[in-house]
Chain A
Amino acid sequence: AQSVSQHNHHVILSEAASLELGCNYSYGGTVNLFWYVQYPGQHLQLLLKYFSGDPLVKGIKGFEAEFIKSKFSFNLRKPSVQWSDTAEYFCAVNDMRFGAGTRLTVKP
């Protein structure tokens, strides 16, 4: 069965710190990979996606993620976070499997 694991439940960083959120999945077939973000009081929205090609994908607001097939991972990164990045982040595989989410709090 497909599953998605997000290792960090709550991450607290200061502004300008670097961010890496882990995501591992369990699925043997072709995967489409996504990161979604939910800002406080707002809809879930797409941050970035990987379907094929360059395993390093760039998304909105300076986020990027790297697909490492051998590790079944799709970690999210940002070199320097801002207070406005405070949100909940969800990793997803294909159209139905979401991770439990990671809450990011950025302190000003």
Chain B
Amino acid sequence: ETGVTQTPRHLVMGMTNKKSLKCEQHLGHNAMYWYKQSAKKPLELMFVYSLEERVENNSVPSRFSPECPNSSHLFLHLHTLQPEDSALYLCASSQERDYEQYFGPGTRLTVT
């Protein structure tokens, strides 16, 4: 399999649940990203990892916790989310920072 994959594709969770989103890239890239895409809002950068080290955290609430165990995998751990966190969560990777990004299909998250 090639490109950037994300699982699950759809997730419905209650406000007290704990879940994780997974992203895997098969491109040999060194940088990985989490974005939040909400209807009628700009794409919001959440986290950036470069060579498995977090290099940016854009004031994201602590109920979102990223993890990058190696250069191919990126997780987003979720706990005690709010309904306004419902959105499409996109993962992307790039060869290096500031290079073009390759996006996954996203996880459609609904918080009830």
Contacts and interface: CB of A to CB of B under 8 A. Distances in A.
Interface of A: 32, 34, 36, 43-46, 49, 90, 92, 94-101
Nearest to A31: B98
B43 A90 contact: yes
Interface stretch (B19-27, B76-84, B99-107): B99-107
Interface of B: 31, 33, 41-43, 45, 48, 56, 90, 92, 94, 97-106
A72 to B, nearest CB: 17
Contacts of B90: 44
A37 to B, nearest CB: 11
Given A43-B105, A44-B90, A98 B99 contact: no
A45 B103 contact: yes
Contacts of A101: 42-43
Nearest to A94: B98
B42 A99 contact: yes
A32 B103 CA distance: 18
Contacts of B33: 95-96
B45 to A, nearest CB: 5
A95 B41 contact: no
A44 B98 contact: no
